[in-house]
Amino acid sequence: MALAAMAAYAKAETTETTAPVERPRLVVGIVVDQMRWDYLYYYHDEFVEGGLKRLLDEGFSYDNCMINYIPTVTAIGHSSVYTGSVPSLTGIAGNDFFVEGQRTTSVRDTTVQTVGAPNGKPGQQSPHHLLATTIGDQLKTATDFQGKVFGVALKDRASILPAGHCADAAYWWDENAGHYVTSTYYMDRLPQWMEDFNKTHKTVPQFDIKTTSEGVTMTFDLAKALVENEQLGQDDITDLLAISVSSTDAIGHKFGTRGEENHSVYIQLDKDLSQFLSLLDQKVGRGNYLVFLTADHGGMHAPKFLKEHKMPNGGWNNGEARRLLNAELNKAFGSAQLVRDIMDCRVYLNHDEIAARGLDIDAIKAKAIEYLRQEKDLAYVADYERLSEASIPDLIKQRAINGYNRHRTGDIFIQVRAGLLNYAFKEGFRGTSHGQWNPYDSHIPMVFMGWHVPHGSSAQETHITDFAATVCAMLHIERPDCCIGEALPFRGER
């Protein structure tokens, strides 16, 4: 048989006998900012049937999902869910970090401009600091860029990092404009439907929508508009929609983990989620979409709450620590500017100053560590480059190593005692924060529901990095290029 005829025969055989790859029409990732795992059960009895209860009643919950790096903050959490990786590899070392000696946010990009509002900083954002691919990037390449990928959140980093490099768009809230914007990284102008949406969904300029339950509804309103106007999940090519709920974090920071404000925002989340799932049932079809829900981090109970109930509490004054540490190093090395910053429990040394003066950086680190170890509120202090040698419990040590990126993380690792915020606060402060290894910050929800997901639960320990590996395995696409997570089997106790 001639080669051409053989090739045609082989192609015909393949066409006749090979079934198409089975995938859901739509993947929806929902990251609830600062959602402690136990909120699934603390508020459970007040949830409606179609929202968070539906996820638990129809889906599969891994009840022991942990964040496997330090610090546990927003930008890292969102990037880790979708890359299946850790700051050591993704380069997203925090909400803010230093790149080549300059402080930046995780998504700040001065080479792009605002789209959808007068030009300014709110729109100068992109994923260019992200050094890894995401679920969406892998889906794009697997579908020859026919699958659609969108991100939506009030926070820029919570929309941009999950959506990845190849996204059709990411939209976030511009408080100055009082509506959603994007950047020229994605497009030159908003689509007409998005301009119309902004006309009917807006606030007065400078209104802090993030600290209200209204922010949850605004987020899901845009998610619903994206499904309808971009026809997500309404053909045979899989799309992805990454949603992040930011108001839960802003309210936790301001009002803490208990009280009417926190209660209201989670009840609103549940109602809005129920309506959104109902829309997916109508537009995409029940069983045709895959949903997963998690958090980027948890949150410590507020110091005020802990104090009232006689539990360890307080705050470590990182600003004062920086001042005193610089003074101490000045005595030893003759420069008062050797510490550039203390941020996310990391000491960033001033490498430019150290090089200009010809100083020994190892000697400076050793002196700084010796001084900081005297502070009673610090459990551990160590040189990032020598973490493997440090006398720190293995679990904490490995998470610190996973969180260390030599070019962006800083020089000295600090861990505050349990129950302490990593900053000072005034008397009567009701709010809280996050960032530590402790379960209150690192134990997060991990729930899957929908396409090919059985009902059940498991107490198996899983990690935030397992989401990307699991979703990509279900889609039969390659996992992101820095993914260290494992694909989970949906086997459990129920």
Q: Which two tokens stand for residue 466?
A: 């397992």
Residue 75: closest CA among 98, 54, 91, 58: 91
Sign of torsion over alpha carbons 272, 273, 279, 283: positive
User: In Å, what is the CA distance from 375 to each residue of 211, 233, 340, 362?
Assistant: 34, 55, 20, 21
Give residues with Cβ within 8 angstroms of 45, minimum separation 6: none
- Point out the catalytic residue in the list 14, 17, 72, 74: 74
Is 74 tagged catalytic? yes
Instruction: State the DSSP code for 19.
Output: P
Taking each continuous run of H as one helix and of E as one strand, the counts in the chain are: 18, 19
- Paired residues of 334 in beta bridges: none
- At residue 445's C-alpha, the angle toward residues 49 and 65, to 5°, is 145
Neighbours of 240 (CB within 10 A): 32
Give residues with Cβ within 8 angstroms of 479, minimum separation 6: 84, 138, 468, 469, 472, 473, 485, 487
Q: Which two tokens stand for residue 8?
A: 């045609």
Residue 420: closest CA among 403, 404, 408, 432: 432
Q: Which residues are catalytic?
A: 74
